[in-house]
Amino acid sequence: MPSEELFTDEDDSVNEILVLGQALVTGILEGKPTTAIQDMIDAGAPVWFQDDDGWSPLHAAVSLENESLVSSLLQEGAVWNLTDNLGNTAADIALSLNNEPCYRLIRDAGIRSELILQLLSSRGSGSVGLDAGSLILKATDTSALGSTAAFLTSKLRYVEDENGQEICLLQSEGEEVGVMMGWEREIMHVTVQKLCVGHENADIGMKILNVGFGLGIIDSMFQNLPVAPSLHVIIEAHPDVLQHMREQGWYEKKGVKILEGKWQDFIDKEDLTDAGGFDAIYTDTFSEEYRELRDFFAHVPDLLASPESRFSFFNGLGATNALFYDVYTQLSELDLSDVGIDVEWEDVDVAEAQGVDRWGKTREYFAMRLYRMPIGKMKVNVD
Ligand SMILES: *[C@@H]1O[C@H](CO)[C@@H](O)[C@H](O)[C@H]1NC(C)=O
Ligand SMILES: *[C@@H]1O[C@H](CO)[C@@H](O)[C@H](O)[C@H]1NC(C)=O
């Protein structure tokens, strides 16, 4: 079949590769034997190929629920996160077929490839490295919703919705979208419980650090603990949010200390280190990427007061898709473990609170039914 003319110039060889790719997808769907599939790959059929429907060899293998083929395609370099024209990854198809083994194979490949990218970028020359771990959710999003710099210069507006709930809207590319929404209240409630209830300093007032004020939901809950915090540091960078905090009297609250800027501006400064460690730390920084969250993780052990102290963060990255959410959740557990923090996860059902049209026009930044809430503590040394 391959004729010499096909290789005479670049266009022809690209064409040839696409033909091989199509044959590979078709061959898999037709159930060609393993040896035939392997021969095609060895002959140069690209495992990253996507047909007119956006299906890759991996999509095809998963649709047949062929675990061993999924595994060997991944070993051959099949891309874990390609989406078809309907927006489904191969792992989404595995989920819809209720095929857990296939799903896990792809998810683990995703975790491995993200970890490798992190490693490459941390070994890189610093400023210009690979853009590791920031890719899935934000790669194509340069609007105020996807970049910290754009977010900090955007206009925010606090309004009440028709149910009297406060929401915060952001002007993005000509439309207003909800960026901080009241449905997060339940998540925040459970988080505060886990961070504070039963803590050894709960009776005398805990020392609390929160990064990112938002609607102030979690900060109000900290203030309303049976014993208010003895120290409550809030780091917030957005001028409109700071203005809102001023209007709401946050600057006058006892024990509250507001640091105006990004957490990176304060992380090694006395404003934070003077506290002598916090009993509870929370972070929810809208529009930051995973890479920045991971940088924050590295500082958490130094910021925690004792082995009793607890840490949590808004686990919302990748939450537009079950696979990506899972990969980020696993990745954060591994990265936290690396810096000496053990995480326990608890599922919070948010489907009902999110309602249908309740919050008006909002971007679906959290599409999962279950929120996976992390609670981290310093690892106990057993030596
Ligand atoms: C999986 O696919 C390979 C290659 O197409 C085939 O040889 C094998 O029989 C399939 N296995 C199952 C369980 O269908
Ligand atoms: C898929 O993930 C890899 C890293 O695991 C990344 O380099 C790539 O940009 C991602 N592709 C998409 C479409 O998100």
Burial 319-349 (b: 16+ CB within 10 A, else e): bbbbbbbbbbbbbbbebbeebbbebeeeebe
Q: Is the CB of 136 under 6 A from ligand 2?
A: yes
Average model confidence (pLDDT) for the chain?
A: 84
Query: How many angstroms is it from 79 CA to the middle of ligand 2?
Result: 8
pLDDT at 310: 97
Please say whether the beta carbons of 242 and 259 come within 8 A: no
Highest CATH level, class, for 4-122: mainly alpha
With the CA atoms of 143, 147, 153 and 157 taken in that order, what torsion angle do they form, in degrees rounded to the nearest 10?
70
pLDDT digits (tens, 9 = 90+) for 283-329: 987 667 788 898 999 999 999 999 999 999 999 887 777 888 888 89
Distance, in Å, from the CA atom of 90 to the CA atom of 60, rounded to the nearest integer, reads 8
Q: Which of 56, 74, 81 to mutate to test the pocket of ligand 2 (most atoms within 8 A of CB)?
A: 81
Q: Percent of the chain having pLDDT more than 90?
A: 58
Query: How many angstroms is it from 323 CA to the middle of ligand 1?
Result: 24
Q: Is the CB of 89 under 6 A from ligand 2?
A: no
- Among the CATH numbers 3.40.50.2300, 2.60.40.10, 3.40.920.10, 3.40.50.150, which is that of 183-378? 3.40.50.150
65 CA: nearest ligand 1 atom = 14
Q: Is the CB of 69 under 6 A from ligand 1?
A: yes
* Short-list 194, 81, 72, 99, CA closest to 137: 81
Q: In the chain, which segments carry CATH 1.25.40.20?
A: 4-122
Nearest ligand, measured from the Cα of 131:
2
Q: What residue's CA is closest to ligand 2, atom 2?
A: 81
Global pTM value: 0.76
Tokens matching residue 58: 């991996």
* Short-list 332, 353, 354, CA closest to 343: 332
Query: How many angstroms is it from 351 CA to the middle of ligand 1?
Result: 38
pLDDT at 350: 81
Nearest ligand, measured from the Cα of 36:
1
Q: Is the CB of 66 under 6 A from ligand 1?
A: yes
pLDDT at 25: 97
pLDDT digits (tens, 9 = 90+) for 112-171: 888 877 766 654 433 333 333 333 333 334 455 556 777 777 888 888 877 777 778 887
Q: Is the CB of 130 under 6 A from ligand 2?
A: no
Q: What residue's CA is closest to ligand 2, atom 8?
A: 135
Q: Is the CB of 33 under 6 A from ligand 1?
A: yes
Residue with tokens 């696409």: 18
Nearest ligand, measured from the Cα of 132:
2
Q: In the chain, which segments carry CATH 3.40.50.150?
A: 183-378
Q: Is the CB of 116 under 6 A from ligand 2?
A: no
pLDDT at 135: 35
Q: Is the CB of 348 under 6 A from ligand 2?
A: no
Q: What residue's CA is closest to ligand 1, atom 14?
A: 66
Q: Which of 117, 118, 135, 324 to mutate to test the pocket of ligand 2 (most atoms within 8 A of CB)?
A: 135
Q: Which of 26, 29, 68, 74 to mutate to test the pocket of ligand 1 (most atoms within 8 A of CB)?
A: 68
Please say whether the beta carbons of 299 and 264 come within 8 A: no
Mapped onto helix, strand or coil, the DSSP state of residue 244 is helix
Q: Which of 6-15, 59-68, 231-240, 316-325 has the lowest mean pLDDT?
A: 6-15
Q: Is the CB of 355 under 6 A from ligand 1?
A: no
Q: Which of 3-12, 183-192, 229-238 has the lowest mean pLDDT?
A: 3-12
117 CA: nearest ligand 2 atom = 4
83 CA: nearest ligand 2 atom = 13
Q: What residue's CA is closest to ligand 1, atom 10?
A: 66
Q: Is the CB of 164 under 6 A from ligand 1?
A: no
pLDDT at 144: 58
Distance, in Å, from the CA atom of 296 to the CA atom of 292, rounded to the nearest integer, reads 6
Q: Which of 32-46, 126-140, 173-187, 338-352 has the lowest mean pLDDT?
A: 126-140
pLDDT digits (tens, 9 = 90+) for 337-357: 989 999 999 999 887 665 544
